[in-house]
Amino acid sequence: MNDVRTALLPSPAPDVCVAVLIRHGATDASAAHPQILQGSATDSPLSAVGQRQVEQTAQFLTSRRIDALFCSPMLRARQTARPIAESHNLEPRIVPAIIEADLGRWELRSWDQIAHDEPEEYQQFIARPDIHSYGGGESIAAVRDRALPAIERVMSGCLGQSIALVTHRIVIRACVAHLLGVPLAESRRVSPSTCGVSLLRYSEGKLELVGFNSVFHLGQ
């Protein structure tokens, strides 16, 4: 798999779309210890750390070609997308299908709390997140089944272009696991960092992962 720095194409071929796939910047919940689960029911803003990450990401992408930018409708994704879009004189386009997962009753709870309060449901989910949902919300498979086709549709409509997609941890996890051939039951091994940058390539109806979760631009 290529380094994102060298894999970004200045001018894709007419039948190719290249997409920079970005997880939104940090929020108070994502940086909490233990981490607090934050899904589609919590429209929280970026934290001060997240805002710095976004500035670093936008600066890194300033010299890279971006012809269009698409993002989740959630505030943390839109706040991440805005500086990148502005540096390329673009307006972010909302893609509802790449919103974060519905976490059901586990929204804003830590894994420690869930394991203590719902041990059976917790163990079922950890063992098979592909068939068991987050607290009565979505499963990893459900997230993949709505998000991956949406990404493919966006990219198929942007052939010959380099684009950016700003979305969320579970969305990226589900899609990247699928593209890598990692069973969704083991998808928690795929852990994108806040403002981590991955790279997708679409051509002739095929979507592939070119680079995953580069964070060098964040000084990590």
Q: What is the pLDDT of residues 178-217, one digit of tens each?
A: 999 999 999 999 999 999 999 999 999 999 999 999 999 9
Q: How many CA atoms does the CB half-sphere of 115 hold within 13 Å?
A: 7
Looking at per-residue pLDDT, the higher value among 147 and 6 belongs to 147
Report the distance separating Cα 74 and Cα 64, nearest Å: 25
Q: Kindly report the length of the chain.
A: 220
136: left (phi over 0), alpha (psi -120 to 50) or beta: left
* Averaged pLDDT for residues 140-169: 98
Q: Which helix (H) or strand (E) holds 70?
A: strand 68-71
Domain count, the chain: 1
Residue whose entry in the numeric block shows the structure tokens 């709390």: 113
Q: 22 - beta bridge partners?
A: 166, 197
Per-residue pLDDT, 119: 97
Could you tell me if 101 and 40 are in contact, meaning their C-beta atoms sit under 8 angstroms apart?
yes
Q: Is residue 180 part of a domain?
A: yes
Q: Is residue 39 part of a domain?
A: yes
Per-residue pLDDT, 1: 57
Mean pLDDT of the chain: 94
Per-residue pLDDT, 185: 94
pLDDT digits (tens, 9 = 90+) for 99-108: 999 999 999 9
Q: Is residue 193 part of a domain?
A: yes
* Averaged pLDDT for residues 92-96: 98
Give the pLDDT band (50/70/90) at residue 11. Answer: confident
Give the pLDDT band (50/70/90) at residue 158. Answer: very high
Give the pLDDT band (50/70/90) at residue 3. Answer: low
Give the pLDDT band (50/70/90) at residue 7. Answer: low
Per-residue pLDDT, 12: 86
Whichever domain contains 70, its CATH number is 3.40.50.1240
Name every residue whose Cβ is closer than 8 Å to that of residue 123 and which is 6 or more positions away in sequence: none
- In percent, the amount of the chain with pLDDT more than 90 equals 90
pLDDT digits (tens, 9 = 90+) for 17-38: 999 999 999 999 988 888 899 9
- Stated pTM of the model: 0.94
Give the orientation angle of helix 140-156 with respect to helix 169-180, to 10 degrees: 80
The domain of 19 spans 12-218
Cα 219 to chain centroid distance, Å, stands at 20
Q: Is residue 123 part of a domain?
A: yes
Could you tell me if 194 and 50 are in contact, meaning their C-beta atoms sit under 8 angstroms apart?
yes
Is there a cis peptide before residue 34, judged by omega within 30 degrees of 0?
yes
CA dihedral 132, 121, 40, 29 (to 10 degrees): -130
Amino acid present at 219: G
